[in-house]
Amino acid sequence: MLIVTTVPALRSRRGELRRRGLRLALVPTMGGLHEGHLALVRRGRELADEVWASIFVNPTQFGPGEDFARYPRDFEHDRDLLADAGAALVFAPSVQEVYPKPSATVIDLPALAGGMCGAFRPGHFRGVALVVTKLLNMAQPDVAIFGAKDWQQAAVIRRLVADLHMPVAIDVAPTVREEDGLAMSSRNAYLSAEERRAATVLIRALRAAEAAVAAGERRGAVLEALLAGEVGIEGLARLQYVAAADPDTLAPVADGATRILLALAVFIGGTRLIDNLLVEVK
C-alpha cells in the first residue's frame, strides 16, 4: 500500500490509473479507524478497481471547545488496518498541504446544514463541504464512499456534488454497529465502561421510535417526543436534539411521508454521540 502526503504525488498516481483505464474509489476519513471505516473500503473494492483512503483530521470542521486536539490519532495502526482491508493507497496530508492558505472560498448549504447537528455545531458543515470538495478535487475519484452513520453529512455532500456538477458518484454505505447496537465511532474510545453501557440508549431510542412507526405512528412530533423520552430514562445521557425528518431534504417529516429519518445527538458524559435510522413506511 502506498502512503502519499502531497497533492502532486497523488495526482501523478491518479494519472497512472487513468491511463490504465482503472476506476478509483475514495474513502475520506479522519482516522481513529474501526470496522465502520473498513466496511467502506471493502465496498469501494466492489465499486472500483482501486480504493484509496484519506486520513485527515480537518481543523475547519471542529468548533472552538470541540475535540480537535484530542481526536484519536494513530497513523501506524490505521495504516495497517487499511492495508488489510485492501486499500491501495493512503493519502495523509498535513494541514499545510490541505490549507496552504486559509480558504477564501466558503461552501455553505444552509437549507441542509442549518438543522440537526448544524444547529449545534455552527460552521461544521462548511468545514466538511470545503474539505470534501478539496479531497474530491485532489484525488478525482470515480466514486466516493460515505457512511450512513453521518446521515446529515452524506445528505450535504450528495447535494453539494449535484449542485456543482462534480464528476463523482456518491455512495452511502450502511452503519456498522457493535453487537449491542451502538454505532461504531472513533469517539466511542472516549467512553468509560459505565458510559459505554449507557451509550446503547441511542439505538434503544431509535428502535423504539421505529417500532412506533411500524405500529402506525407517523406524526413527527410524536416520534420526536418518543425518542426524547427514551433518552431521558438513561441517567448518564443528556439529549442534544432529536429529529424525525425527510431523509433527503432533512426538513421536518411531512404527513403521509413514506420514508422517515429518525436521528439524534446525545452527550454521554462529555462525549457527543450521534445515530440515526431510516424507516421505510410500507
- Catalytic residues, by residue number, are 37
Q: Does 150 participate in binding ligand AMP (rule CB under 6 A)?
A: yes
* Contact by Cβ (8 Å): 153, 128: yes
275 lies in the site for ligand AMP, by CB under 6 A: no
**Interacting residue with ligand AMP among 54, 60, 152, 175 (CB under 6 A):** 175
Which of 147, 227, 263, 273 forms a contact with ligand AMP (CB under 6 A)?
147
Question: What minimum distance in Å lies between the beta carbon of 31 and ligand AMP?
Answer: 6
One of 26, 146, 170, 244 touching ligand AMP (CB under 6 A): 146
Toward ligand AMP, which CB reaches closer, 62 or 140? 62
The interface region with ligand AMP, picked from 129-137, 172-180, 214-222, 253-261 by CB under 6 A, is 172-180
Single out the segment in contact with ligand AMP by CB under 6 A; choices: 88-96, 145-153, 197-205, 251-259. 145-153
How does strand 259-268 pair with strand 237-245? antiparallel
Burial call 89-127: b when 16+ CB within 10 Å, e when fewer? bbbbbeeebbbeeebeeebebeebbebbbbeebebbbbb
Backbone angles phi, psi at 111, to 5 degrees: -65, -30
- Which CB sits closer to ligand AMP, 129 or 173? 173
Q: Is 182 in the site for ligand AMP (CB under 6 A)?
A: no
C-alpha cell at 49: 478497481
Size of the site for ligand AMP (CB under 6 A): 17
Separation between Cα atoms, residue 174 and residue 156, nearest integer Å: 17
Contacts of 223 (CB under 8 A, 6+ apart): 209, 212, 213, 217, 244, 253, 260, 262
Applying CB under 6 A, the span of 112-120, 141-149, 199-207, 236-244 interacting with ligand AMP comes to 141-149
| Residue 130 makes contact with ligand AMP by CB under 6 A | no
**29 scored as a contact of ligand AMP (CB under 6 A):** yes
Q: Three-state SS for 265?
A: strand
Residue 255, judged by CB atoms within 10 A of its CB (0-12, 13-18, 19+), counts as: exposed
Whichever of 169 and 228 has its CB closer to ligand AMP, that residue is: 169
Quick one: 39 or 168, whose CB is closer to ligand AMP?
39
Q: Is 37 exposed, middle or buried (0-12, 13-18, 19+ CB in 10 A)?
A: buried
Coil vs helix vs strand at 257: coil
- Binding of residue 40 to ligand AMP (CB under 6 A): yes
Binder among 41, 138, 139, 184 for ligand AMP (CB under 6 A): 184
Asked if 125 and 152 touch (Cβ cutoff 8 Å), the reply is yes
Q: Look up residue 191 and give its amino acid.
A: L
Quick check: 36 binds ligand AMP (CB under 6 A)?
yes
Per-residue interface string for the shown chain with ligand AMP, residues 46-85, x marking contact by CB under 6 A: ----------------------------------------
Phi, psi of 193 (to 5 degrees): -60, -40
For binding to ligand AMP (CB under 6 A), which residues are involved?
Answer: 29-30, 36-37, 39-40, 146-147, 149-150, 173, 175-176, 183-186
